[in-house]
Structure 1
Amino acid sequence: MSTLMVLYGRPTDPARFDAYYGERHLPLVRRLPGLKSVGFSRSGVEVLAGNDLYLVVRMEFDTGDAVKAALSSPEGQAAAADLANFADGGVQIVAFDEVAT
């Protein structure tokens, strides 16, 4: 399993962020090829060091190659380009494979 996490910093207007994310951005995300699941966390998001986070989004894919394919697809490019429309608190994107120990 491979994970793509998107960490959104606190926006200047949280209500606008929420409306835009739910109405415009999330539909773009849900169209990513190979996406198995998407989950969100706002309550209980705790930053131990660094930036003040507002929203954490976790997307699951079968493989790292599936993540790369999703990000380079037209749907992935559209979602990436859309970030400038609402993510004024900053955004960090992290991809990783989960490894059993």
Structure 2
Amino acid sequence: MVKLLALYKQPENKESFNDHYYNVHTPLAKKMPGLEKVEVTEIFGAPTGESDYHLLAELYFKDKETLMSSMNSPEGKAAAKDLMGFAGPLVTMMFGKVVEN
């Protein structure tokens, strides 16, 4: 299993960001073909106090090929376009392989 990770820095207006994230962006992302699971972590702090980060989203796919195909699908492109429109400067995206110990 692999996942697409999206790590979001603190937005200026959390209420507006969360409204768009949960009510517009997440429904778009959930339409991506091959998506098996979505987990969102709302970050509330760090061992040193405040965190520079607001959210971590993890989107799970069967394998790398399914992930890449999904990102290149019309639904994946729509989600990416929306992401860049409301959170482009705030988001860092990564791919990862799930390793079970």
Structure 2-normalised TM-score? 0.86
- Are 1:90 and 2:90 matched, yes or no? yes
- Two-structure CA RMSD over aligned residues (Å): 2.1
> Contact 1:11/1:88 (CA < 8 Å) preserved in 2?
no
After superposition, the Cα gap between the structure-2 partners of 1:75 and 1:17, relative to the gap in structure 1 and judged at 3 Å, is same
- Are 1:56 and 2:77 matched, yes or no? no
| Misfit runs of 4+, over 3 Å | 43-48
Query: What percentage of aligned pairs have identical amino acids?
Result: 30
> Contact 2:39/2:58 (CA < 8 Å) preserved in 1?
yes
Q: Which runs of 5+ in 2 are unaligned?
A: none
> Contact 2:9/2:52 (CA < 8 Å) preserved in 1?
yes
Structure 1-normalised TM-score? 0.86
Query: Which residue number corresponds to residue 42 of structure 2?
Result: 42
Q: Which runs of 5+ in 1 are unaligned?
A: none
After superposition, the Cα gap between the structure-2 partners of 1:62 and 1:82, relative to the gap in structure 1 and judged at 3 Å, is same
Letter in 2 for 1:69: S
Alignment length, in residue pairs? 99
